[in-house]
Structure 1
Amino acid sequence: MTTPASVPSAVPSLSLNSGGSIPQLGLGTWPLDDAAVEKAIVAAAELGYRHVDTAVKYGNEVGVGRGLAASGLERDQWFVTTKLDGEYQGQDRAVAGLDASLDRLGLDYVDLLLIHWPLPGRDEFVSTWETFIRLRDAGKARAIGVSNFKSAHLEKLIGATGVVPAVNQIQLSPASTRREQRAYDTEQGILTESWSPLGGGSGDLLSSAVLARLAEKHDRTPGQVVLRWHVQNGLVVIPKSANPQRMAENLDIFGFSLDADDLAALDTLDEGPDAGVDSDRSGH
């Protein structure tokens, strides 16, 4: 029987601007609870996943930590992301926030720490970023980044500190391609990471005729075609699933490629800037 540690990961990694790299495909964990996420991570490890994404707001960091411990993998084989939400914005509040996350996760450090939302009305994301920089320098986070930030927020952050986030995690799919945001991120050397990559609020995406045709052409599922689109666009992608069969399907996207005609067809699904982007910040 193959042990988890011996399973080779077919997932390529992308370089981070601060050094190191991030697996291009990982396991999203929202809205799984502790029990479900622990089982999901163990199953994911057996399949070859080495990247897991969580957040304080998800309420499942304890389960994530248990899953990591039960996976049979050494710590350095995992890339772990967590996010601190509004409670931890403001000078130094993120210090206690990350310490609490590390305690729940059972880890000494996270590979990537994100500001969950900019919350510009509070105007505290710059001081929060300054705290993140100190946490990175102290070794408690190997890399730091942001989530749900727009270009104006990033410009303010970079202008005030001179430190460019390694990652900007945003809601993104073929139905809402966020081209301008992605272009800005790329120009700044920021990796764009896709949450809700299979469409989220635009529930019709996976049932579209375009995806049905491309899935048949490549003998893949519509979901696999969408995830392949993310990969070929240089994005990091974190689909969520607690189903091992679906996890395996999500991982099995590196044995085929979309050609120029396929990508052009997928372009027709774009509903415009920020279409379908979820403004409800109770979860992601």
Structure 2
Amino acid sequence: MQRIVNRHQLNMPKLGLGTWPMLGDECTRAVTQALELGYRHIDTAAAYNNEAAVGEAIAQSPVPREQIHVTSKVWWDQLSPVKMRASFENTLRALRFDYVDLFMIHWPTQDWDLARTIETLVSFKEDGRARAIGIANFPLALLRQVVEVIQAPLAAMQVEYHVALNQAKLLEFARRHDMALIAYSPLARNKVSEMPEIRRIAEKHGVQPTQIALKWLIDQGNVAAVPKAKGRANQLANLAALDVSLDNEDYASIVGIAKNLRLVSPAFAPQWDDAA
């Protein structure tokens, strides 16, 4: 499987398994199955309430822990240093890990001491319990502050990204700073299967529309994707996307798709720069 490797020592498969909103035994079965099929990148978060289920699957798996990249995240209402440390401890306890491969701030918030929050995040990397650190759902201006002003050694950002949402400026920033951009909702909540341009390309290659959408992302430098997939057929289909070949005509068709479909914007979300 292709990997992203950068100066922050992030060594992460470009295709991962998203686990939201799976819970309990359903989540454990899905992760167990994914590991059996060859997935080595699992994405979870404290807010998903499934870290223990993910940890159970990994504890039961014959795949060595060090061969599995696991990302988790701290929720936006736990970003004071004391709460953040407690949340991180709870994450490690639920996962049954001594360390997590990538630990992220899940969403920015308001009325926070950004410097102290980032200092706390960096401390998890410095003590070795987070092999790498990152942020999710930060707009570009805030990301610049964290990386260029505070100079936090971020390895990755995670944002909504798919064929119908432009993230060009964030991707350019990621490449300039040797960061990975991890795409969540990479299938636009399966809306890609309804897009005429994607359907035409899929029919041309004899594959599924979701595979076209995933390969378009994975072919981009510094980009990884974490589609949620519970069933065996969908997990296998997503893995098979790695073997799809897109040509220049395909890329031109995808460029022509409108890029303003943002699907994840809760009430506490920051102000997005959708012109990016």
- Please state if 1:195 is matched with 2:176: no
State the one-letter code of the partner of 2:212: V
Of 76, 87, 94 in structure 2, the residue corresponding to residue 97 of structure 1 is 87
Deviation at residue 12 of structure 1 after TM alignment: 1.1
State the one-letter code of the partner of 1:210: E
1:206 corresponding residue in structure 2? 193
CA distance in 2: counterparts of 1:36 and 1:64, whole angstroms: 10
State the one-letter code of the partner of 1:187: R
1:276 corresponding residue in structure 2? 262
Structure 1 residues 218-265: Cα deviation after superposition (integer angstroms, max 9, x where no partner): 111000000000111221100001101100000112222111110110
Is the contact made by 2:188 and 2:263 (CA closer than 8 Å) also made in structure 1?
no
2:97 corresponding residue in structure 1? 107
Is the contact made by 1:93 and 1:128 (CA closer than 8 Å) also made in structure 2?
no
State the one-letter code of the partner of 1:57: A
CA distance in 1: counterparts of 2:61 and 2:149, whole angstroms: 41
Counterparts in 2 of 1:124-143, with a 5 A limit? 124-143=113-132
Is the contact made by 2:211 and 2:244 (CA closer than 8 Å) also made in structure 1?
no
Listed as ranges, the gaps of 5+ residues in structure 2 are 270-276
Listed as ranges, the gaps of 5+ residues in structure 1 are 1-10
Deviation at residue 210 of structure 1 after TM alignment: 1.1
Structure 1 residues 47-92: Cα deviation after superposition (integer angstroms, max 9, x where no partner): 1001100000000011000011122211111100000012320234
CA distance in 2: counterparts of 1:248 and 1:162, whole angstroms: 39
TM-score (norm 1): 0.90
CA distance in 2: counterparts of 1:14 and 1:158, whole angstroms: 19
SS of the aligned residue for 2:171 comes to: helix
1:27 corresponding residue in structure 2? 17
1:215 corresponding residue in structure 2? 202
1:265 corresponding residue in structure 2? 253
Of 118, 132, 141 in structure 2, the residue corresponding to residue 152 of structure 1 is 141
SS of the aligned residue for 1:252 comes to: helix
CA distance in 2: counterparts of 1:254 and 1:159, whole angstroms: 34
Of 56, 61, 78 in structure 1, the residue corresponding to residue 46 of structure 2 is 56
Counterparts in 2 of 1:10-21, with a 5 A limit? 11-21=1-11
Of 25, 28, 31 in structure 2, the residue corresponding to residue 38 of structure 1 is 28
SS of the aligned residue for 1:22 comes to: strand
Of 237, 240, 259 in structure 1, the residue corresponding to residue 225 of structure 2 is 237
CA distance in 2: counterparts of 1:228 and 1:130, whole angstroms: 36
Q: Comparing 185-194 with 88-97, which one deviates more in the overlay?
A: 88-97
TM-score (norm 2): 0.92
State the one-letter code of the partner of 2:193: L
2:273 corresponding residue in structure 1? none
2:272 corresponding residue in structure 1? none
CA distance in 2: counterparts of 1:128 and 1:16, whole angstroms: 24
Aligned-residue Cα RMSD (Å) equals 1.7
Q: Comparing 251-260 with 108-117, which one deviates more in the overlay?
A: 251-260
2:274 corresponding residue in structure 1? none
2:150 corresponding residue in structure 1? 161
SS of the aligned residue for 1:170 comes to: strand
CA distance in 2: counterparts of 1:218 and 1:158, whole angstroms: 41
CA distance in 1: counterparts of 2:216 and 2:80, whole angstroms: 37
Paired residues, number: 268
Q: Which runs of 4+ in 1 moved over 4 A?
A: none
Is the contact made by 1:126 and 1:156 (CA closer than 8 Å) also made in structure 2?
no
Deviation at residue 114 of structure 1 after TM alignment: 0.3
Structure 1 residues 196-225: Cα deviation after superposition (integer angstroms, max 9, x where no partner): 00013xx64321111111111111100000
Q: Comparing 258-267 with 151-160, which one deviates more in the overlay?
A: 151-160
State the one-letter code of the partner of 1:137: E
CA distance in 1: counterparts of 2:225 and 2:183, whole angstroms: 5
State the one-letter code of the partner of 1:258: L
